[in-house]
Structure 1
Amino acid sequence: MRLTPVLLVAAVLSGGGLAGLGVGYVARRHRDHPASHPLSMMAIPPGLAGLCAAGTVVAPRSPISGVLLAASTGLLLLAPAYFLLFTLVYTGHDAVLTRGRRRALVAVYAVVGGVVVLETVTLSGIPVRTVNGLTLPVVASQGPSSIWPLLFAYPPILVSLGLLARFLISSQNIFRRQTAVILLAVLVTLVGNIAFQAGFSPHPGLNLTSMFFSVEAVLIALALFRYDFLSVEPLAPDIVLEEMDDPVMILDESARLIDANPAGTQLLDGESPVGTPINRVLPGLFDAARNGEEHVLADGTVSTDGGEAKMYDLNKTPIRDQYDREQGYVLVLRDITLQKQRERTLTSLQSVSQRFLSAETPEEVLEIAVTAVDELLEYPYAGTMVYDEDANVLRSAVFTDALADAYRRGDVPENPAVEPGDSDVWQVFESGEARRGAPIETSDTQLPVDIGGSLLYPLGDHGVLGISAGPDHDGFTDDDCRFADTLATTTENALDRVAKEHALRESRELLEMRSEQLRFFNSALRHDLLNGLMVVQGHVDRLDGLVEGEAADRVATIDEWTDDLARMAKEVRSVTQTVAGEDDSDLKAVDLEAVLAEKAAKFRQGHDNLTVTVEADSLPAVRADSLLGSVVENLFQNAVEHNDSEAPTVTVSASVDSGAVTLRIADNGPGIDDDQKSEIFRESVTSDGSGSVGFGLYFVRVMLDRYGGDVWFEDRADGDRGAVAVVELPTADAAE
């Protein structure tokens, strides 16, 4: 089919109409956008007008062509009203749009549009003309239909253009590209309509304004919803530079200053010497940026604030042209003075913590803390007060030189004391809560100088740390308080450590003294006891054979007791060595079978009606010493002396497992109550009437600890009466 002018124009008008309706639909889907509703109403009427105009092109001589032409003209009149509403919302002037005003504006344009429609419909004999292959009805230029564009369409469009242009150049506009696209779309529509009104059209009855409105709506919708220019470039570059706190300087290829943002101008003492080499106004700055170094702007330069040097981190970014050649630089200076101060302070605090570790007395700890306040935080008035438990007061301890000099020059005591009460210092000590900022109020003491606002920190049970900067101090910053908090906490920990180490040293000294006394008395006891026993034993040996009868029996008794006393002296030595933790290098391999056989034979001979049975063969050597026999003898003695049977028995069995030998010494006595099985080893001597001198089961426990073994009592597993002493001894091989 050949593409005729009729089909081409109809297709263009229909396409524009459908595009307008499509924009209206999309705008209604984006209800979260403030301008979506007016945009929708701005697009739908021109879209419908375009479809009506397409109908008149296809059927110009149809009876309904006049109605379609009138509808198209009336619908187009609504678009400027909604475009004005859209512009007011988009540019942030929606506060003037109350609901009544919106309705009034739309109503006025609806009435005017209705008048135009009625006038056009009531016209009789609308001429139909054919020009350039197009046949269209042509309305004569008379009545409201001829002047409505001038009176009603152009004013809101011109107002909207003014608002958009003003918004475009506004420094507050962060949608500049988006605004430019919307402004361009409006201008296209306006130019198209002006061209039609001026007669620039293929046909005098062909009004393409609806198509231009649809194109406008498509462009606006794309700018708002599809390409979202805001996310591509959220801020105009000049706004970024204006709002940046960091100084930014633009340099040419020769490092001469081209421009600077307000922060950079302030850095240059309020001036912007364009064309001046940057190294002339800020010496060394560009070289530092080129080498990737930090830069300090020293005292006396225009870059200082109040005479204080500042340190900057420099970021140099080259500006390149389309040929990738460097044509200049963007230099950004980030002030890191405070950051560096914090780093230096933290490093110094770490050094203070190391010094605390070497302090051995509370006075040394407090001296380190006060010196750190004076040198590190640069606060001249600082001091500590320590708690005197005997007097229940806080006494002055260590002060900075400035505060100590003030006390010496003043009319107050150099060593003030704070008693319990409502004074700030005592309240901080008693409550354990720090007090920051306010001047110190004292009730019982006076300060020799006005120290201004203060920081008071409790030091646990030790006292209080006070920090002041003088009456002209502006107040403590958050960093000041953080560093002071850390110092106070570290000081308290150091005082705790010193106190614990002092107590530990005293405890060790006391223990060493007691151990030395124990060793002395033990040595003296054994020396004198053994010497006396040797004398007694000599006389007993001389009497043996010289006496008979009852006298001979008494001599034999004396001989037995002297043997027991000698054995006890050896046991005391072993117990002392074990308790004092002395060297156990004298432990050796001992033949357990021989020890059991010897002690069993001794008890069989020394006790009538006693049956001793040893069921232990092929036992390995155990790790012990020469007193292992005394350990076994004490266990045998315990089994015999507490046995109330007329025919007492002692049964010994042994087993070897996992590098240890387990002895089980069972008797047929009354047994041991469960609550006494562990307490029995705490007895210091054997019971009266045992016929022997020694440490009994306490000696057994101590010696087995020395051997690395164990001992406990059990009930007999066979259900018979009696108790079983269970002894574990490490084998000599396993011990090695």
Structure 2
Amino acid sequence: MDVDIATVAILGNAGGALIGFAIAVVAARNQDVPGARQYGWLAVAGGCWCALSIWQILVSDPAAVRTVYLLSRTAAMQVIGLWVVFALVYTGRQSWLRPSSLVPLFLVVNADVLLLLTDQAHDLVEVAAVPVTQLGTTLVAIQRGPTFAVLLAVSYGLLLLGYALLIEFLFRSQNVYRRQTAAIIIGTGLPIFVAVLYDFGYTPHPAIDFTPVAFSLNAVLVGWVLFKDESLSVTTLSGDTLVDNLPDPVIALNDDCVIIDYNAAAASALDQPDPDGELLDDLVPGLVDHIERGEVFSFGDSFTYYNPQTTSLTDQSGTERGRLVVLRDVTGQQRRQDRLEALQAATQQFIEAETAEAVAEMAVEFATAVLDQNAAGVFLEDDGILEPAVISESIAEHVEDELLYASPTDEPESKLWKTYETGEIQAVSLDKDGLDPLDNALMLPLGSHGVMAITSHDSTLATEDRRYAAILAQTTQVALDQVERERELRQSRSSVQRRREQIEFFNGVLRHSLHNAMVVIRGRAEHIRTDVPRSKRRHLDSISNWCGKLTEMSETIRDINNTVTASEAERLDAVDLNATLRRSIESLRVEYDSVSISCELDGDYSVQANELLEEVLLSILRNAVDHNNADTPQVTVSVQQASDWLQVRIADDGPGMSDELKTTVFERGLSPDQTAGGFGLYFVSVMMDLYGGTLWFEDNHPTGTVAILEFQQAVTGDEAEDDFGPDDTETAATEAQTKSHDR
């Protein structure tokens, strides 16, 4: 049967045109694929080339054929230029696509077209449209001159440039599209092979070029590889990376979290012999979330812990196309971490335990539950004998009672007692002791408290288990030390409380008896007043005054005792400093006739103190007068602000104080002749310390001494509401206390 070669060419080019335009539409919908936009334009150019080839076959007028040939040649040259652009983009060389590079490229590509358009001006190219009859078909064929060979060489050179870019990219280490690249290189060889055959005369008819049809067939292959076939995308790199005998599961995922490759360990972990092509979340729900969080996890009924390590699989444009996930088996590390966290959490419970039995119970529970040992026991010393405080049920069931007690007189020597006596950890085999099913035990000393024993069915305890057991024993010993200290402290507190109550009782009796005695003495003195000559009654007045002073002193001692024994919150209150200073000064003026006192108060001040503040200030004022040998001692009182502190400065014009005395004047042992009231200054020092304040002496100029009492400034109720919240007030008081201690 005769074959109409023209009909075949027309149908082939028609199909090629449709394929080219269809590929362009698919490319427009897959812009995220590297090179998709450039390949879409390449497909459009190929479709136009096919359509113009049909037109060239159908036209019979030589002049019209020349015109259509010019258009067809233009489309063919754009295919070559766009092929180079596609190769540059696909291989990640977008930076080369600058106007300074593209303009020369397309000038070279379209050199033949430009020469054809300007042929009348230079006559450098020869184009002849000649009817040719071959295989019974007459068509108008285009014949070119010798210049065309040079232009063909340039075109093939550009095609080979694109090939060279793809081949280099194929062997580049970071190429994650090796199979895809190889498919493109192989597929593109078809139109080039057909073009070479046509250009060298191997064609059914000189007027029919099947190169556009071959290009369209190649477009189908390359389009499928680019946009549809996932198996040719990122699989290769994962295949280079995966090691089948790697013990950790390794999974390659595409950007939809579909498994595209895996190793044997992954198939075993997923419990799927062939998980290829499966959604990871369908096999193990929630596994993708674990991987994305990057935290240690386990899944299913497995006690294996995995730490996911993800490597992005990116294309030549830097776009992520998938992930390579390595699930590192960290079961051992996780168990160690769990044990450490459990031990850390239990430490606080150990420290808070109130009895040795509670500590022992927690230690046994921790050893069996967290350290995964079969049994444990804590044996505490009591009157030279180690006795079981808490033991596991299996020990109670399999060990005879007499073996649970130990003393120095045991024969043969008890292993428990030897551990207690030497203070050394001992690993003991129980096989010969008839203690089946317990095979061995680890004896750990608990200091002076006793011994902890941890038993196991295994022949030996692992080194890691021994280490954690030692940590547990140390924690138990610390907790037992704490219980012992708390017991001693409670006993001490109880003893101190009893003594305080006794002292308060006797102080109360003493004050009561003293008060009654002073009342009796004062009453007797008043009773005989009328019988005493008027010239002698001053002695009765002195008796009455001293009775009053002793009564007041007993009340002051009571207040001091209450202040010393009270808590800080109970002993301190906001005290009006201005009013207290005025009362103290007035009292001093009553006691001393010849004294000059000036007081400078520039504001309303309140300090942290109590009702004894007046006695504190009066003691310092008295000290300033008693040590002054002037006929009229001069005393100046002032108040200065020092940040959150208030300084009361009491200056005198006396003889002054030596540097040595300034540091020792507050000592309790000073005799009255050094201070003319040494007990008074010691009392002031004690009270200032209880107030959280400070007291020191400085030189006054030109003579005398300045006593400086520094108090915490009190915040009144209104100020506290305006300036501070409850937490701020507490913070301010704490900072003030810290400043006082730093001075």
Return the TM-score normalized by structure 2: 0.47
State the TM-score, normalizing by the size of structure 1: 0.48
